[in-house]
Structure 1
Amino acid sequence: MIDDYLRRHDGVITLAQAQQAGLSRYAVDRRVRTGHWRRCSPGVFFADDRPFSDAARIRAAVWGYGAQAVATGIAAAWWHELTRYAPPVVEVTVPKASHHPHRDGIRMRRRDLNPADVVEREGLRVTALALTVIEAAVRFRGGVVLMDSALQRHVELRDLWRAHLKNKGRHGSPAARRLLQAASDGARSEAERLFGKLLRDAGITGWRTNYPVGGYKVDVAFIDQKVAIEVDGWAFHSDAEVFVNDRTRQNAISLLGWKVLRFTWFDLTMHPQRVIAEIKYALSS
């Protein structure tokens, strides 16, 4: 029974779980003394006959803060398989009234989560999918891609808004609201407004918006240099028909001798300096 439990839980077990499975405290201590188990934190152990994987590290971190602890942020996103990369620092949320100490490799947050915002996956308590997406999206630089990918495959935009409004005031709430507004139906126009601001801030002039070229209208055109720039919103708004139409349009404009550059919301928000550099290069060449 113990071996089966360890196999299903990445080699991690708590003292309470071991006792429930029939081991005494003395038997647990003996396993630690003989090197079969390693103590990760008070009351949490790892069976040292296997690699200490990312899953084991996250599970041990959360279980080390008690039965009410929850994996949140990027740790929860990784557990939900929203990102391929496990975070080096595990975010764990505990109730406000708890008195747990801070530990290395763990970012502890004190907050009382709504029970509806907590789910159990493979025996670990994590934030529910919608709340995980909006919280993880503001925790690291790839958040735009994470949210866009989740909207394409896992969750509806209305669910993200619902989770956000139910948890206003949390860490990162204003940034999450801006991402959700950008991901709403006006995503493309919001991206175009942001792009215009980038051009003005960089002192780039001489451009026109919605300029007709070959029967199409390009988002931004530098007429003298024949440089056309197309600005995309979020991928989750797109479908196969839009993809085909965009490629047909781009090819037609290119055949008329225009250089065509495309930038996404991710480019504009995460790599604005690179965007400006590419535009300046296109205008000067």
Structure 2
Amino acid sequence: MLAALLRSHDGVITLAQARSAGLSHGAVQRRVRSGHWVRYARGVYFVDDRPFTDAARIRAAVWSYGPRAAGSGLTAAWWHGLTRFAPDEVEMTIPRDSNGRRRDGCRPRRRDLAKADLTEIRGMWVTNLALTVVEASARRGGGARLLDWALQNGVDLSALWAAHLRHTGRYGSPRSRLLLQAADSGARSAAERLLHTLLRGARLRGWQANYRVGGYRVDVAFPDARVAIEVDGFAFHSGAEEFQIDRVRQNDIVVQKWQVLRFTWLDLTEYPERVIAVIRAAISA
């Protein structure tokens, strides 16, 4: 039973788990003294016969704040499999009445979560999928990319709004609200407004919004350079029919000897310098 527990828990075990597996407190201490078990924090140990992986590091950090701690933010996103790389700093949510202090590599956030906001994955509590997407999207390293991916893969936008509204006072709440609003029905118009802001900030001149090119209106045009810019909202809004219509439209504009640049919400929010550099290169060519 003990070996199976250690395998499923990445080599990390708590004192309470060891006791439930039949070990006495003295037996645990003998393992620590022999060097077979390494004490990570009070009541949390790692069996030093295997690599200390990212999963082990995160599990030990969360468990070190007690049985009611839950991974949250980018930590929960990685645990859910939403992100590729584990965060360097482990974020966890702990109840308001907890006594745990912040330690190196850990960022505890005090907040009482309802059971509906939690899920257990591989024996560790983390925030549920909806709340995880909402919170991790507001963190550096998450952003619009994570939100868009989740929406494309079946996460319901109304569930994300519900999770956000249950926790409006949390860290990152204002940014989450803006992202959700952009992902809603106004995604395209929000992206257009953001592009206008970037163009003004870069002091680019000679552009016009909603400019007519042949039988179409393009989002932004530089008429002198014959450069048309089209912006998209979140990818989850785009179906096969919309994709086909956009390509026919773009081909017709190109035939009229215009260069067409396309940018997404992700481009505008995550890579604004690159967007401006591409536009500068196009209008000066």
Q: TM-score range by the shorter chain?
A: over 0.9
1:68 to partner: Cα distance: 0.7
Contact 2:19 2:25 in 1 (8 A): yes
Contact 1:82 1:146 in 2 (8 A): yes
Q: How does 1:80-119 map to 2 (within 5 A)?
A: 80-119=80-119
1:214 to partner: Cα distance: 4.4
Partner of 2:29: 29
Q: How does 1:211-222 map to 2 (within 5 A)?
A: 211-222=211-222
Question: Which letter does structure 2 place at the counterpart of 1:37?
Answer: W
Question: Which letter does structure 2 place at the counterpart of 1:61?
Answer: A
| Structure 1 residues 41 and 154: CA distance shift in structure 2, 3 A | farther
Contact 2:134 2:147 in 1 (8 A): yes
Correspondence 1:147 to 2:147: yes
Correspondence 1:55 to 2:55: yes
Question: Which letter does structure 2 place at the counterpart of 1:223?
Answer: P
Contact 1:141 1:270 in 2 (8 A): no
Q: d(CA) in 2 for partners of 1:37 and 1:248? A: 65
Q: d(CA) in 2 for partners of 1:66 and 1:154? A: 33
Q: d(CA) in 2 for partners of 1:142 and 1:130? A: 14
Q: d(CA) in 2 for partners of 1:57 and 1:236? A: 34
Partner of 1:137: 137
Contact 1:195 1:268 in 2 (8 A): yes
Instruction: Report SS of the residue matched to 1:83.
Output: coil
More displaced 10-residue stretch of structure 1: 56-65 or 207-216: 207-216
1:64 to partner: Cα distance: 0.7
What 5-or-longer segments of structure 2 have no aligned partner?
none
Partner of 1:245: 245
What 5-or-longer segments of structure 1 have no aligned partner?
none
Tell me the TM-score normalized by structure 1.
0.96
Partner of 1:201: 201
1:275 to partner: Cα distance: 1.5
Partner of 1:17: 17
Instruction: Report SS of the residue matched to 1:46.
Output: strand
Contact 1:234 1:264 in 2 (8 A): yes
Question: Which letter does structure 2 place at the counterpart of 1:27?
Answer: A
Instruction: Report SS of the residue matched to 1:261.
Output: strand
Q: d(CA) in 2 for partners of 1:201 and 1:5? A: 56
More displaced 10-residue stretch of structure 1: 254-263 or 5-14: 254-263
1:141 to partner: Cα distance: 4.2
Partner of 1:121: 121
Partner of 1:8: 8
Contact 1:136 1:143 in 2 (8 A): yes
Partner of 2:226: 226
Contact 2:136 2:142 in 1 (8 A): no
Tell me the TM-score normalized by structure 2.
0.96
Q: d(CA) in 2 for partners of 1:202 and 1:103? A: 42
Kindly report the root-mean-square deviation, in angstroms, between the aligned alpha carbons of the 2 structures.
1.4
> Which of structure 1's runs of 4+ aligned residues deviate more than 3 A?
none
Instruction: Report SS of the residue matched to 2:146.
Output: helix
- % identical aligned pairs: 62
Aligned length: 285
Question: Which letter does structure 2 place at the counterpart of 1:235?
Answer: A
1:267 to partner: Cα distance: 1.5
Q: d(CA) in 2 for partners of 1:12 and 1:271? A: 39
Contact 2:74 2:142 in 1 (8 A): no
Contact 2:219 2:229 in 1 (8 A): yes
